[in-house]
Amino acid sequence: MKTFRLIGTALLAVILCINLVSCSSDENNPIEDKDNATTQKKLIELKEVDDRGYYSISKYSYGDDGRLSSATCTWNEYSITYTINWGANVVIESFDKEATTFTLENGLIKHMSIENATFSYNSSKQIIKMQNSDIFTDVYTWEGDKFTSRTTYQIGQDEYTFEYIYSGKTCKGYLPIMIEVVENDNHPLIEAHPEMIGMRCYQLPDQVYHKKYNCEYICKYTAGHLVPADFQLFII
């Protein structure tokens, strides 16, 4: 859950439905209704390939109500299909005999059964804290609709921080990789509905500053690519 996959030797391609990602430097682009699942742009496919040729592909299907109904995830020759069952204040994401239960409050995930994680939000429905089984605590900060930092506190370890810098570039859809700031495990529900975890982000960061222990580095996003060259991001 605490592996930050944006920094690594991988090639990540995020394929979205037509008109999902239309980016510009104009901050006045019209923004979709984050609370209305039927009008939101939808994630159709996400593909990740590493430098050895190993890949994973996730494909998403939705019901007439705009909610995720199933997702098929393939890792090379291995494939599983998730089924999403929606209740009044509970969503269950299951495959085979495994299941993750998400408990909701006002449309936001307040508890996730796996790792006994709990979440807190501000009045704008943006995530501000994630507590993971009394081992990890993540604190998130925002400036308006810009997600600016995540600081992780771990028992017996030094804290570490990711800081995000922006120049005004936005998308009419959303940036799906931002959910990995909160949850790195494979959860199609969160990938397709980041608004449920307070991370449906339209602002595109220019760079990420990371400080952990005695190490510091900066990665830059330019024209859809993340530098250094051992990692690239493409949004199609």
Token couple for 87: 């209740």
| 199 within domain boundaries | yes
| 228 within domain boundaries | yes
Q: Are 23 and 171 in contact (CB under 8 A)?
A: yes
Q: Name the residue with tokens 């051992």.
A: 230
Per-residue pLDDT tens over the stretch 74-119: 988 889 999 999 999 999 999 988 999 999 999 999 999 988 899 9
Q: Are 51 and 211 in contact (CB under 8 A)?
A: no
| 195 within domain boundaries | yes
Domain around 139: 10-58+118-235
The whole-model pTM stands at 0.77
| 34 within domain boundaries | yes
Give the C-alpha separation, 151 to 78, whole Å.
35
Token couple for 217: 């580095």
| 70 within domain boundaries | no
Q: Is the dihedral of CA 113, 119, 125, 128 positive or negative?
A: negative
Average pLDDT, the chain: 78
Q: Name the residue with tokens 């449906």.
A: 200
Number of domains in the chain: 1
Token couple for 236: 């199609």
Instruction: Please give the residue that has the higher pLDDT: either 128 or 46.
Output: 128
Per-residue pLDDT tens over the stretch 136-145: 899 999 999 9
| Alpha helices for the chain (secondary structure H) | 188-192
| 75 within domain boundaries | no
Amino acid, res. 112: M
β-strands 43-50, 203-212 pairing = unpaired
β-strands 127-132, 117-121 pairing = antiparallel
| 45 within domain boundaries | yes
Q: What are phi and psi of 191, to 5 degrees?
A: -60, -40
